């Protein structure tokens, strides 16, 4: 393929899923990896730097996950051979519940920053934020290498980059299914299409001097996908015939039996809802589910409905997809949100964000009657066409309850099959392993339990030896030779890098702990004026409480605190006044008193002023 290089400017900021017998698949021959290989003395989590029989340790291929293992999100992986590094993906992850104020997390790129002169390219597999969202934060740190990606992923990445006008322009190399790119002396990549919930998702067949590596990307096998063609099974099988040293495989669905449901099945069930709906249809989904959005547009046109898109990210992704031809829509189908009242309610479909119960997202504003243009009535229907992100169960349930209280018809995937994920379940994963016949299996993109489950599944169902499965963590440096692997004694930095507003990495464990304390027990400020000549209190201390107790209702506690302060300072103070000593004393003694009286531990903030 002749490479097309572009410099882009930056700008501003039901039914069973398993349709056939399991027996037919399980009766296939066992994997070729069961052949006898030279004995390996390092495997299954052992660490070391052995002198390998087939070559020097310096000649190993190293794979370093910097994000995406033991978690869902902030995907980033590096392949290193001699003086070259290939980086795959740069995603974000949403914060845990115990990270108040944090917007999202990005990978720690310290390992790569120290070696940025070795970085040959960054490959972006597809346009979801957990794979591309961190590009504006890390690209400059990586030396601004060329970005190899498909057209839609490029469009989404550029739109994201426009939010950061101070960042340098991104350099893209456009690729597509079937392209083979010689990235550098040691890395050649063949791109192949896989099915997911967004078009232009590319798997990677990476040729290296040590052996060939497959990076599956997020994938599932779908014989009848919407808005894209099925994955080329014969091509994937050909990789297995050519040889696969390691299969880096999406393990998100490893704990779910059967096949991932086809989008065609979802279309049938969605059509039933469209056929029976009496009023306006309000569909909550993820802004990145381009294929699902196309389904909803097609059904709306079939049943004579106008379509409204509401939600910043959803409108943005839809506009990009329309311009690039990934979303097709008849002229006149789309209307603006302020045109809704110009049409009968049974002729309108609203596609919106907020299916996770976010407070200020479109669905919540509709149910709270805070939306300027959309007012739901009893004949309207709400469809939750998305899965539940772990941790959002309570907020989603609250949203559902509010919708039911409003008398709306509510459809969600527990009632009927109106959503399928973009990740393959166990049968899909076993297929990929069987087709590619890897020497070593390297589960990625999943919680720790998912990676372990996939390894055990491959051992039980396909006979893949346990010592051929690599269960790693973020920061693990995994060495490969053609017939063995081991963990390096060293690990790459992989701790969380937190983004809070414009701050990147400036919120560490100490700040986070302080936020947790403030969120749980509040703060208690003591302002003490001390006479510099006598070392005694000049007047009664001022006290401020936020998130701890309401001062007007706790006068006895305040009197006891003031009494304690007066005795303590007069007993311990001296001239000249030692501010640091007095502050530590107030923090310890008053903190102890407050805990004795309330069983709470607010953050005690002493302010000592000499007068």
Tokens of 168: 């340098």
Do the annotations mark residue 412 as ligand-binding?
A: no
Do the annotations mark residue 579 as ligand-binding?
A: no
Do the annotations mark residue 279 as ligand-binding?
A: no
Do the annotations mark residue 43 as ligand-binding?
A: no
Q: What angle do CA 392, 422, 475 make, to 5 degrees?
A: 75
Name the catalytic one among 89, 177, 222, 250. 250
Tokens of 281: 């249809």
Cis peptide before 576 (omega within 30 of 0): yes
Do the annotations mark residue 130 as ligand-binding?
A: yes
State the Cα–Cα distance between residues 107 and 74, nearest whole angstrom: 6
373 is catalytic: no
State the Cα–Cα distance between residues 167 and 8, nearest whole angstrom: 12
Do the annotations mark residue 33 as ligand-binding?
A: no
Do the annotations mark residue 423 as ligand-binding?
A: yes
CA dihedral 44, 46, 47, 51 (to 10 degrees): -80
- Among the listed residues 80, 89, 92, the one whose alpha carbon sits nearest the alpha carbon of residue 120: 80
Cβ neighbours of residue 315 closer than 8 Å, sequence gap 6 or more: 309
Tokens of 175: 């690729």
- Among the listed residues 139, 141, 140, the one whose alpha carbon sits nearest the alpha carbon of residue 149: 139
Do the annotations mark residue 60 as ligand-binding?
A: no
State the Cα–Cα distance between residues 322 and 325, nearest whole angstrom: 5
Do the annotations mark residue 488 as ligand-binding?
A: no
Tokens of 262: 């086809």
417 is catalytic: no
Helix (H) or strand (E) holding 350: strand 348-352
Do the annotations mark residue 259 as ligand-binding?
A: no
Name the catalytic one among 259, 371, 412, 423. 423
State the Cα–Cα distance between residues 473 and 451, nearest whole angstrom: 10
Instruction: Burial-class residue 201 by CB neighbours within 10 Å (0-12, 13-18, 19+).
Output: buried
HSE, side-chain direction, 13 A CA sphere, residue 258 = 10
Helix (H) or strand (E) holding 284: strand 281-284
Strands 76-81 and 188-193 turn out to be: unpaired
Do the annotations mark residue 422 as ligand-binding?
A: yes
C-alpha separations of 49 from 42, 152, 264 in Å: 9, 42, 50
Which own/partner contact pairs does 402-406 have at CB distance under 8 Å and 24+ positions apart? 402/367, 402/368, 403/367, 406/367, 406/376, 406/378
Q: Are 532 and 576 in contact (CB under 8 A)?
A: yes
Cβ neighbours of residue 293 closer than 8 Å, sequence gap 6 or more: 285, 314, 318, 321, 327, 351
Cβ neighbours of residue 547 closer than 8 Å, sequence gap 6 or more: 518, 519, 521, 522, 523, 602
- What is the distance of C-alpha 353 from the center of its chain? 17
Q: What angle do CA 454, 458, 464 make, to 5 degrees?
A: 135
**Crossing angle (nearest 10°) for helices 312-324 and 151-161:** 140
**Continuous H helices in 150-248:** 151-161, 233-242
- Among the listed residues 181, 178, 427, 383, the one whose alpha carbon sits nearest the alpha carbon of residue 293: 383
- Where do the DSSP E strands lie in 22-161? 61-67, 76-81, 84-88, 104-106, 119-123, 147-149
Tokens of 171: 């350099």
Q: What is the DSSP letter of 346?
A: G
- Among the listed residues 479, 456, 450, the one whose alpha carbon sits nearest the alpha carbon of residue 469: 456
Which residues have a catalytic role annotated?
250, 423
- Give binding residues for substrate as ranges: 419-423
| Feature table: binding site | 101, 103, 126, 128, 130-131, 196, 218, 419-423, 445, 500
State the binding site for Ca(2+): 101, 103, 500
Q: Which residues are annotated as a binding site for Zn(2+)?
A: 126, 128, 130-131, 196, 218, 445
């Amino acid at each position: 393929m002749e490479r097309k290089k572009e410099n882009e400017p930056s700008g501003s900021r039901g039914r069973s899923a398993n349709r056939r017998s399991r027996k037919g698949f399980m009766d296939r021959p066992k994997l070729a990896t069961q052949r006898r290989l030279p004995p390996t003395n390092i495997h299954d989590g052992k660490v070391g730097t052995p002198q390998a029989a087939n070559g020097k340790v310096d000649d190993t291929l190293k794979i370093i996950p910097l994000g995406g293992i033991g978690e869902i999100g902030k995907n980033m992986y590096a392949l290193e051979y001699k003086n070259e590094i290939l980086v795959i993906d740069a995603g974000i992850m949403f914060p845990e519940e115990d990270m108040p104020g944090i917007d999202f997390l990005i990978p720690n790129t310290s390992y790569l920053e120290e070696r940025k002169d070795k970085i040959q390219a960054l490959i972006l597999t597809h346009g979801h934020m957990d794979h591309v969202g961190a590009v504006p934060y890390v690209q400059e740190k990586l030396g601004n290498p060329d970005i190899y990606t498909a057209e839609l992923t490029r469009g989404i990445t550029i739109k994201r980059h426009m939010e950061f006008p101070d960042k340098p322009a991104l350099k893209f190399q456009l690729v597509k299914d079937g392209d083979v790119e010689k990235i550098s002396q040691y890395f050649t990549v063949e791109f192949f299409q896989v099915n997911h919930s967004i078009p232009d998702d590319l798997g990677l067949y990476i040729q290296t001097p040590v052996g060939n590596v497959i990076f599956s990307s997020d994938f599932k096998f779908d014989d009848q996908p919407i808005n894209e063609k099925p994955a080329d099974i014969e091509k994937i099988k050909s990789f297995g015939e050519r040889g696969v040293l390691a299969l880096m495989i999406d393990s998100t669905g490893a704990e779910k039996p059967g096949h991932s449901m086809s989008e065609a099945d979802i279309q049938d069930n969605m059509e039933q809802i469209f056929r029976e709906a009496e009023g306006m249809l309000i569909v909550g989904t993820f802004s990145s589910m381009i294929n699902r959005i196309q389904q909803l547009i097609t059904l709306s046109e079939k049943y004579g409905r106008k379509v409204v898109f509401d939600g910043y990210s959803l409108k943005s992704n839809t506009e990009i997809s329309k311009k690039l031809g990934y979303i097709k829509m008849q002229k006149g189908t789309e209307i603006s949100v302020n045109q809704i009242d110009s049409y009968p309610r049974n002729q309108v479909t609203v596609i919106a964000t907020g299916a996770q119960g976010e407070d200020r997202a479109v669905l919540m504003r509709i149910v709270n009657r805070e939306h300027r243009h959309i007012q739901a009535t009893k004949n309207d229907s709400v469809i939750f066409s998305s899965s539940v992100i772990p941790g959002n169960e309570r907020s989603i349930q609250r949203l559902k309850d509010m919708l039911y209280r409003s008398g709306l018809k509510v459809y969600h995937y527990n009632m009927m099959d109106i959503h399928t994920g973009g990740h393959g379940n166990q049968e899909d994963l076993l297929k990929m392993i069987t087709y590619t016949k890897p020497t070593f299996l390297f589960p990625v993109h999943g919680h720790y339990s998912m990676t372990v489950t996939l390894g055990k599944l491959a051992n039980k169902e396909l006979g893949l030896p346990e010592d051929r499965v690599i269960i790693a963590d973020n920061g693990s440096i995994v060495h490969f030779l053609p017939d063995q692997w081991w963990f390096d004694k060293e690990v790459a930095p992989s701790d969380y890098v937190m983004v809070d507003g414009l701050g990147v990495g400036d919120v560490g464990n100490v700040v986070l702990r302080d936020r947790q304390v403030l969120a749980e027990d509040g703060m208690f400020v003591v302002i003490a004026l001390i006479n510099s000549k006598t070392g005694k209190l000049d007047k009664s201390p001022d006290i401020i409480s936020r998130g701890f107790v309401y001062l007007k209702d706790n006068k006895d506690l305040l009197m006891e605190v003031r009494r304690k302060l007066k005795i303590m300072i007069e007993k311990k103070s001296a001239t000249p006044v030692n501010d640091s000593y007095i502050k530590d004393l107030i923090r310890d003694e008053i903190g102890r008193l407050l805990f004795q009286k309330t069983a709470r531990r607010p953050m005690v903030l002493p302010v000592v002023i000499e007068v």
